[in-house]
Amino acid sequence: MEDRPWSLLLLCFLIPFSIASICKENTTLAGFSSDLAMVQHQLRGVVRILDGCSFSVSQFDMLPGSDRVRWWGASGDSFHNLTSGFEISDMNLNHTYRNESFTVRLLPDVTWDQMSVLAVWDEPTASDFGHLLLGSNHSDLLAPIPDPSPAPSPISDQFDAPPISRRPAYSQPTMFDNCLALSPSYRLRWTLLPESNSIAIGLEAAIGTQYYMAFGWADPGAASPTMMHADVVVAGFSEEGIPFAEDYFITEYSECLLNKDGKVEGVCPDTIYEGSDPVGLVNNTKLVYGHRRDGIAFVRYERSIVSKDEKYDVHVNKTDNMTVIWALGLIRPPDTLRPYYLPQNHGGPKFTTYGFFTLNLSKEVNQCAGPLDAEDKDDQDLIISDGKTPLIVTSGPALHYPNPPNPAKVIYINKKEAPHLRVERGVPVTFSIQGGHDLALYITSDPIGGNATSRNVSETIYAGGVDAEGVPASPKELIWAPDRNTPDQVYYQSFFEQKMGWKVQVVDGGLSDMYNNSVLLDDQQVTLFWTLSPDSITIAARGEKKSSYLAIGFGSGMINSYAYIGWIDDFGIGHVNTYWIDGKDASSVRPTSENISNVRCRSENGIITFEFTRPLNPSCNGRVECKNIIDPTTPLKVIWAMGARWSADHLSEKNMHSVTSRKPVRVLLLRGSAEAEQDLRPVLAVHGFMMFIAWGILLPGGILAARYLKHVKGDSWYQIHVYLQYSGIAIVLLGVLFAAAELRGFYIGSAHVKFGVSAIVLACIQPVNAYLRPKRPANGEAPSPRRVIWEFFHAITGRFAILAGIVALFTGMKHLGNRYDSENVEGLTWALIIWFLLVSLLVLYLEYLEVQRRRKEKNSLRGNWVLGNDDDEEEDSVDLLHRKRTSTAPEYVSSTRMEVQLEPIR
């Protein structure tokens, strides 16, 4: 035990020596240097192996990838070998590199003998940014470097070279000795090749696929820089993505055309001027390499310094200062009449789309600090789904797959290889899958595909799967409807094979497609979108002018309103918070814990849009947000505000709005429209007036006629009763139609509607009841039980109908008050109360007169002879409102005729 500290000390002393000896022993590749092959993300650099444990990197350029970009080792550069490779360093390459140099140490358990390929690898997307080949027998790729030449070497002198310096027998076509920035988006690269008396030139620009890049030498004999008689090379890409580089000679500032004399003039290829002469004599540009990656076009070509073409080429002196020209612009592809590319006018300002400058090829220049970065990095074909035409899904060979490495066969959509697919939320996409039984299409969150679950990787599958496969004779139809919860980017892939598909961009091209309804709020500066569900509502708000935050509130004003505020923080992350506002200062804006979900907030050019979903009736108690209930049958008062700054907490006066709505707008959720707050909708006013006429005048008048007009001779009381009742019912039904048309539906939710429906049902029973009434009894006969039951049912339903109708009138006034300010309906409510009080007084007065009349008739029958009784047939009606049902003639009056002979007095 006492010897242990000495042994530990000795071990700590020996470990560095043992590691160093390992690094020195493994010197097979010491001094090996090679250029990294660009695959994507504009990667460039020179790698030099220092020893068995480290390597240096110089002139390193790269656009950033994910957070898991690493140095990677593999046994080969095939799809299988790269995807099954391994991490060789813990260095994280997760940012932009601009012509940087650094040293990388291998992990302790990694040696050069374990790999044949050194790559920069993005692990989450299985993407190869760039790599170099070490070879299975590393020495077969190495060749001694000759004596120093006048041309600069791509090998960096920043690090001490080993005694034996080696470099590969070839170099990558994207690497050059010199680089000059012609404009912010256009670069010229070149390397002198003295052994072949030529120059290698690389043109690199952030341009679209329909653009050209031009570079060349101006006429040495011109007094001032001009494009006339200039010798230029026009480079670009065909519609099939094939690079080209052609010699052009400029005779006019126009497209290449035949003039009246039959001569060719304009910006024309050298070959056109000489007609049928052999192309090799006049086209001295040799295309070497070209690609489009990350939105950057790159073409490498070579040309002789001293050209054989004395007429259309300028002889270049590599040690003199010479005037050169350059341009960028659109290019027209060849057609049957003019089978050559036609560069269009550059169409922009000097030094942005064209320019002149003096160049000395022999002077070293390195003005390109970092890679070019295009705004639109997607170089693949773009297919926009319109929701109507099916997308034809097949498979084919991988020619320009956008995310290498890739398998030999990839997905084609509408005959385009792995295109970038753009879809809109709310618009269904139809796929017609015809790629064979080994291609099962599915939409996934995983960028690699191939059933990520089988790789123990979590993924979300949005559509498709193992059964989504078909052949041309029997295609499989797959319909996918992206919604507001679908991420902005997903992938279409094969369920059976990795990395056959590519990206799907999910856009909000039209919020109107995602939502069932939309209205413009006050001043038309904010648009509100919504979709109703049985228990919830999804809402979106979009400002129509630039702001730092956007707020909408439910209420008549900001005070005592529930507010939803969307804003973008300093890190570009969107937020949506909920508040209860009970005052005018910042301290009165109180955050709530309202249950909102599916929250999204974004800003496009300063225009803020936010979305959320919330329950119609919050399930909570005791908190202020629990009262924030949305009733779809009642208009929702909505206000808005915008401002210059918002934060999650510590609100101050700076957070207050800079512009706001002047008045709330009533949003009719069920109808999908809006109305000004102070406006009384004419249709609803007509509905209320018609219901008052029916339940306040006609139907009660019909009942009063049956009660108090029976003593009038004849059946006029009965006619009045029937006509008033039928008229009242007709007006009630018509008023219901007016309300249903206004609200675009019939919804039983409020107390007003419930009482109204009850009254209408009871009123409509009366005509049916009258049609089914039993036969009246004959004079002197007792009524049948069915007749008695009918009479009581008729009276009771009539009384309850009137009662329900009157309650419906008053609840309707209350409902109207909820839709409009109380002062607009308060006077109407009091008028209704006074009316029914007057009707009640009239009923009391009529009841008093009826009692007096009955008493008088009773006394008259007791003390006087009945002079006569017309044996007229009794009307088939009874006094249904009297508590004692009686026939028209009193029971004690004899039904026989009595006659008295009166003789005159003499």
Buried b / exposed e across 723-738, counting CB within 10 Å, b at 16+? ebbebbbebbeebbeb
Distances 175 to 181, 189, 202, 289 between C-alpha atoms, Å: 15, 8, 9, 12
Phi then psi for residue 7, to 5 deg, are -70, -40
pLDDT, residue 247, reads: 93
pLDDT, residue 571, reads: 80
The C-alpha atoms of residue 107 and residue 115 are separated, in whole angstroms, by 13
Q: Which residues contact 679 (CB under 8 A, 6 or more apart)?
A: none
Tokens of 349: 């300002």
The C-alpha atoms of residue 89 and residue 60 are separated, in whole angstroms, by 17
Can you tell me the mean pLDDT for 134-159? 39
pLDDT score of 82 more than 90: yes
pLDDT, residue 696, reads: 86
pLDDT, residue 628, reads: 92
* Residue appearing with tokens 């419906």: 808
Question: What average pLDDT does the chain have?
Answer: 82
The C-alpha atoms of residue 452 and residue 397 are separated, in whole angstroms, by 23
Q: What is the pLDDT of residues 601-641, one digit of tens each?
A: 988 878 899 999 999 999 888 888 898 999 998 889 999 99
pLDDT score of 125 more than 70: yes
Can you tell me the mean pLDDT for 375-384? 82
- From start to end of 151-258, where are the E strands? 166-168, 178-183, 186-193, 198-205, 211-217, 231-237, 243-250, 257-258
pLDDT score of 198 more than 90: yes
Can you tell me the mean pLDDT for 678-688? 68
Q: What is the pLDDT of residues 311-359, one digit of tens each?
A: 888 989 989 999 999 999 999 888 877 888 899 888 788 888 999 999 9
Can you tell me the mean pLDDT for 816-838? 74
The C-alpha atoms of residue 239 and residue 450 are separated, in whole angstroms, by 31
pTM: 0.59
pLDDT, residue 745, reads: 61
Can you tell me the mean pLDDT for 763-767? 84
Between the ranges 21-35, 140-154, 842-856, where is the mean pLDDT highest? Answer: 842-856
Please report the domains of the chain, with CATH numbers, ordered by start residue: 32-133 (no CATH), 178-359 (2.60.40.1210), 382-508 (2.60.40.420), 517-669 (2.60.40.1210), 680-775+783-843 (1.20.120.1770)
Q: Which residues contact 346 (CB under 8 A, 6 or more apart)?
A: 327, 328, 329, 353, 354
673: enclosing H helix or E strand:
strand 673-676
Tokens of 830: 């009091």
Using alpha carbons, select from 396, 409, 391 the residue that is nearest to residue 496: 409
